[in-house]
Amino acid sequence: MSIRGNLFLISGIVIVASIIIISILADYIAPFSYDEVAGPPLSPPNGVNLMGTDNLGYDVWSRIVYGSRSVLFVVFASIILSAVIGIPLGLLSGYISGKLDKALSFIMDSIYAFPSLVLAITLAVVLGPSPVNAAIAIAIVYVPTYFRMVRGQVLSVKTEPFIEVNRALGLPLARMLFRHILPHVAPTIMVVFSLSSTDAVLTEAALSFLGLSVQPPTPDWGYELYKGKGFILSGAWWMVFFPGLMITLLAMGFALISEGLSKGEREAI
């Protein structure tokens, strides 16, 4: 792998891992609880409150630490859900072809063409605001991504001789798909994972920014941003700066991973 690819991959992993660790060790890392008054409201960053306090006097840093849990939950839940639905469908559709494939591809392409955020918002509204529903909404939006990637790979692997041989031997469908085709598709899936994680972070942040994910007082970075918006005029820049920074950092971490992985894949080719 190229030096730059390696660099990206490692920095991305470091960033994402750090945030995961922060979320796991939240109780030990956060100086305060997320709904505990930790200082005078709207105080700028100081010795006690490293990132200042919000309008209710909660410590921003603590809210960020605990907020990482909501964010990571939604992100991982949604991409796992997307993958679990999209990958098998892609494998099946690509392998079987025919009418099923045409119909599925058509539906997937329509979803894919539609603005993802608008779709996620619509789904989240209909399902009701909660982290689980947000995860479901995001999952549905990204199913086509997995589907298309996997299907594409299956189409190119399908023509390989060893597939023909296995088919002639009468291998059952599930075995064929998972034992033989999936391994070839795996590297692409890793790249899609990281890529859609980036999107999932940003979409989750957008949903909670619009109030469609967690509900107060549970902390979530996007929601913190929404709160902060109302206090810009009061000069409380720290309410906006830090949560937004975390969102961007996490998104960038995943993006670094995906760039690092795809550079590696390209080298391998």
Partner 1 sequence: MGLARYIGVRTLLIIPTVMILYTLVFFILRILPGNPVLAVLGTKNIPEEQLRAIMERLGLNKPIHVQYFEYLANLLRGDMGVSLVIQGRPIAQDIIERLPATVELSISSIIVSLVLGVSFGYIAARRRGKIIDSSIRVLGSFLYTIFIPWFGMLLQIIFGIWLRLLPIGGRITPGIAPSGPTGFVLLDSLIQGNLYAFLDSLKYLILPSITLGIMLSGPYMRLARNNMIKALDSGFSLAYRARGIKEDKIVRYSLKHAMIPIVTYTGLQFALLLGGAVLTETTFSWPGIGTYLVEKVFYRDYPAIQAVVIVFAFFVGVISLIVDVIYAYIDPRIRY
Which residues of this chain interact with partner 1, rule CB under 8 A? 4, 106-107, 110-111, 113-119, 121-123, 125-128, 198, 202, 205-206, 209-212, 225, 228-229, 232-233, 235, 237, 240-241, 243-245, 247-248, 251-252, 255-256, 259
What contacts 49, CB < 8 A, 6 or more positions away?
38, 39, 43, 59, 60, 61
Residue 95 or 242 having the CB closest to partner 1: 242
Residue 168 or 233 having the CB closest to partner 1: 233
The minimum distance between CB 246 and partner 1, in angstroms, equals 9
Instruction: State both tokens at 45.
Output: 């960053």
Measured from the Cβ of residue 171, the count of other Cβ atoms closer than 10 Å reads: 15
Please state, in angstroms and rounded to a whole number, the distance separating the CA atoms of residues 219 and 151.
Answer: 38
The minimum distance between CB 174 and partner 1, in angstroms, equals 28
Residue 170 or 235 having the CB closest to partner 1: 235
Residue 126 or 168 having the CB closest to partner 1: 126
Give yes or no for a contact between 60 and 52, defined as CB atoms under 8 angstroms apart. Answer: yes
Q: What is the DSSP string of 130-147?
A: SHHHHHHHHHHHHHHHHH
The minimum distance between CB 109 and partner 1, in angstroms, equals 9
Please state, in angstroms and rounded to a whole number, the distance separating the CA atoms of residues 49 and 43.
Answer: 8
The minimum distance between CB 134 and partner 1, in angstroms, equals 13
Residue 127 or 171 having the CB closest to partner 1: 127
The widest CA-to-CA distance across the chain, in whole angstroms, is: 74
The minimum distance between CB 225 and partner 1, in angstroms, equals 6
